[in-house]
Amino acid sequence: MCGIIGYAGSGGDSDTLEVLLHGLGNLEYRGYDSAGVAVANASLSIEKRGGELSELKDALAGNADGFDGSTGIGHTRWSTHGPPTDANAHPHTNAEESVAIVHNGIIENYLELREELSEAGHTFRSDTDTEVVPHLIERERAGGADRETAFREAIGRLEGSYAIAAVYPDCETVFAARHESPLVLGLGSDGNYLASDVPAFIEFTNRVVYLDDGEFAALSPESVTVSDGSGAPIKKSVETIAWDPEDAGKSGYDHYMRKEIAEQPRAIRDCLRGRIEELGGTVTLPELEGLETPSSVQFVACGTSYHAGLYGERLLQRRGIPTQTFIASEYDAARLPVDESTLVVGVTQSGETADTMAALRSANRAGATTLALTNVVESSAARECDHVLYIRSGPEISVAATKSFASQQVSLSLLATALVDSASSAAFPPREYLRELRRLPDHIQSVLDDSRADAVAEEFLDADAYFFIGRGYNAPVALEGALKLKEITYKHAEGFPAGELKHGPLALVTESTPVFALVSSREQAGATIGNIKEVQARDAPVVAVTDDPESVANHTDYVLEIPETHPAVMPIVANVQLQLVAYWLANALDRPIDKPRNLAKSVTVQ
């Protein structure tokens, strides 16, 4: 959600605009509806446009004069305050254009500040909350403050969340600050970078510094300094990112989503590597050393990660640990039984999801032990929680999560096994269960090689709505299947536990409502087949996703087969078929699969 790129370069003035546009292109996956850049030289050269990045590039193609400074900032905006117009696009300036600002997050007291500044004679040209910042800086400058002091004083007036970067005319420094919105610095050989996410500059450098809340940064072509709110310098560690720039490319696929679906066998191998000992039936997670078996577990998450949490909840409950899953925006630890023996797990691909971060902070205040289950090293969640377990899925560019969901499911399987001594568990005999986890990549590869999901998608292209049902471990994947389809096709879809069909949703079932049923040969198959018969009696077509095609062949119109495996592992494999159905349906409808309307990859506002 929104993207920032900044650059202070030593490689030649003509490189700056190219670096900014390239960075914005790499950040398109985050979701946006307008874009803009500002380059500092003797004055500020600014261009911004509502719409896609291509519109900004078209505008610059005929008017790039003046964009030859060595320092600049760029932004892709996801609208919160005001529609996606040229005026509301970032960067924002004061009337004299003596400073330009880009901002991610929400300034909660902007109306109060805007009224204060308007009464002092400042004129505003946009609907955004961000525009108060350059006017605050202008007022500090008019009072005699230098550039850095004016920036700090302005930031000190803000309430809410922000990652902010600023440039001035006749100045080769980019000034930046963060609070509850991600910002990372890149240390390059031909200049220095800042961005809301590493992919913005990964082609130029893999040496990064992560800013923490309340920290300020100043980037020049030759140096980077980080300081606290009082200006005292802070010594930061430099991390080396292991991602290869080519990992963020499409590798010949038409869409990132299709590529990332195909990457799931590799992602799961990376997730499992070094963590399981199949012969002894043990899981080793050194990063969780010292974490004792909790009295209870609470998952907090949003969207796809919430569905992963529901899956993890079932794994832990079957192992005897009381577990609940909460939509993060609804979580308040002060209202719940939470103490030091409670483990609160934040499931978040980016590690920056604002609602999940707020829930984790609530849990920390209540004294709970917190664990981040995340994909991004040194993300906010990773740094603020007591423990972190990385899912190791690699960069995921498409807004619709695919391989990260699979890696979250596998990571939760490992976590549940590590937390509980399952040696005597009939439901999870350790050697069998870990063997099936090890076989997962091969099982998923067989689905990728043999799936008929494209033909099923073509058959139901004109359906009125799509229902997804499953029981037990499969119920969360039914929810995820519906979410994936609605995200990228814009078609109505619902997912729910199979038993809920007769408690309301059955009223909506017609011959134009295909029902996708997840049926496990070893987990309540008979009950789910009963639900299938209920919809068939209403003339609804049924697609079974199953490891036992013979048991459902007489009750369904189509079968999407998966290899037989442990019932707790089956949903990870079955979900791949549902991902492919959603993908091929969206492809046939010519939807913008990687960048669905109104959605963002990393949601950093509440």
User: pLDDT (tens digit, 9 = 90+) per residue, 403-419?
Assistant: 999 999 999 999 999 99
**Catalytic residue, candidates 2, 171, 271, 385:** 2
pLDDT at 492: 96
Paired tokens of 588: 């046939």
pLDDT at 278: 75
* C-beta of residue 86 within 8 angstroms of C-beta of residue 49: yes
What torsion, rounded to 10 degrees, do the Cα atoms 277, 308, 447, 444 define? Answer: -20
Distance of CA 266 to the CA centre of its chain: 20
Tokens of 197: 């996410």
* Interacting residues of 265 by C-beta distance below 8 A, sequence separation 6+: 440, 441, 442, 444, 445, 448
159 contacts 200 by C-beta, under 8 angstroms:
no
Strand partners, 38: 46, 73
Strand partners, 466: 493
Q: For the chain, state the CA radius of gyration.
A: 25
User: What's the pLDDT score for residue 583?
Assistant: 98
Structure tokens at 437: 């986890």
Q: How far apart are CA 488 and CA 183, in angstroms?
A: 28
303-360 per-position pLDDT tens digit? 999 999 999 999 999 999 999 999 999 999 989 999 999 999 999 998 988 899 999 9
The reported pLDDT for the residue numbered 577 is 98
Residues 6+ apart with CB under 8 A from 249: none
> Which structure tokens are listed for 86?
């040229």
Q: For residue 550, what pLDDT is reported? A: 83
Cα gap 119→140, rounded to integer Å: 16
Q: Percentage of residues in the chain with pLDDT exceeding 90?
A: 67
Per-residue pLDDT of 553-588, as tens digits, reads 788 889 999 999 999 999 999 999 999 999 999 999
- What does the pLDDT read at residue 242? 74
pLDDT of residue 204: 92
Domain with CATH 3.40.50.10490 in the chain: 249-428, 451-606
pLDDT for the residue 1: 59
CA atoms within 13 A on the CB side of 208: 27
Q: Is the pLDDT of residue 287 over 90?
A: no
CATH topology of domain 3-246: Glutamine Phosphoribosylpyrophosphate, subunit 1, domain 1 (3.60.20)
- Give the number of residues written for the chain: 606
Question: Average pLDDT in the 78-93 region?
Answer: 87
Q: Residue 396 in contact with residue 255, Cβ under 8 Å?
A: no
**Amino acid in position 51:** G
* H/E segment holding residue 44: strand 44-50
- Beta-bridge mates of residue 49: 35
Q: Give the pLDDT band (50/70/90) at residue 113.
A: very high
Q: What are phi and psi of 54, to 5 degrees?
A: -60, -35
Distance (Å, whole) CA 280 – CA 201: 43
Write the pLDDT tens digit of every residue in 137-188. Answer: 999 999 999 999 999 999 999 998 899 999 999 999 999 999 988 899 999 9
Q: What is the CATH number of domain 451-606?
A: 3.40.50.10490
pLDDT at 380: 87
CA 493, CA 307: separation in Å to the nearest integer? 15
pLDDT, tens digit (0-9, with 9 covering 90-100), for 200-249: 898 899 899 999 889 999 999 999 999 999 999 999 999 888 766 656 66
Tens digits of per-residue pLDDT, 190-199? 899 999 888 8
Between CA 276 and CA 403 the distance in angstroms is 20
Q: Point out the catalytic residue in the list 48, 259, 491, 601.
A: 601
Output the pLDDT for position 215: 96
Q: Are 345 and 335 in contact (CB under 8 A)?
A: no
- Average pLDDT of the chain? 90
Q: What does 176-236 look like in DSSP terms, one character per residue?
A: EEEESS--EEEEETTEEEEESSGGGTTTT--EEEEPPTT-EEEE-SS-EEEE-TTS-B---
The whole-number average pLDDT for the span 14-19 is 85
Q: What 8-state DSSP symbol labels residue 248?
A: G
Where does residue 367 fall: left (phi above 0), alpha (psi -120 to 50 degrees), or beta otherwise?
left
Nearest by Cα to 204 from 219, 217, 194: 194
Active site residue 2: yes
Query: Distance between CA 515 and CA 556 in Å, rounded?
Result: 10
Kind and range of the H or E run holding 432: helix 430-450
Answer left, alpha or beta for residue 535, where phi above 0 means left and psi between -120 and 50 means alpha.
alpha
Q: What pLDDT digit, counting tens, does each position of 379-405 carry?
A: 889 989 999 999 999 888 899 999 999
Position 32 scores a pLDDT of 77
Q: In this predicted structure, what is the pLDDT of residue 14?
A: 58
**Distance between CA atoms of residues 571 and 557, nearest Å:** 21
Q: What was the pLDDT predicted at 336? A: 92
Q: Is 302 known to be catalytic?
A: no
CA 130 to centroid of chain Cα atoms? 23
| pLDDT recorded at residue 171 | 95
pLDDT of residue 426: 63
Residues 167 and 71 sit within 8 Å (Cβ to Cβ): yes
* CATH 3.60.20.10 residue ranges for the chain: 3-246
Instruction: Over range 249-262, report the average pLDDT.
Output: 88
Q: d(Cα 487, Cα 321) in Å, to the nearest integer?
A: 33
Per-residue confidence at 601, pLDDT binned at 50, 70, 90?
A: low
Q: Is the separation of the CB atoms in 261 and 579 below 8 Å?
A: yes
Distances (CA, A) of 450 to 435, 447, 548, 561: 23, 5, 16, 9
Give dist(CA 526, CA 519) in Å, integer.
9
SS3 283: strand
Looking at 3.40.50.10490, 3.30.2090.10, 3.60.150.10, 3.40.50.300, the CATH number of the domain 249-428 comes to 3.40.50.10490
Measure the CA–CA gap between 510 and 95, rounded to whole angstroms. 59
> Taking 80 as the threshold, does the pLDDT of residue 425 lie above it?
no
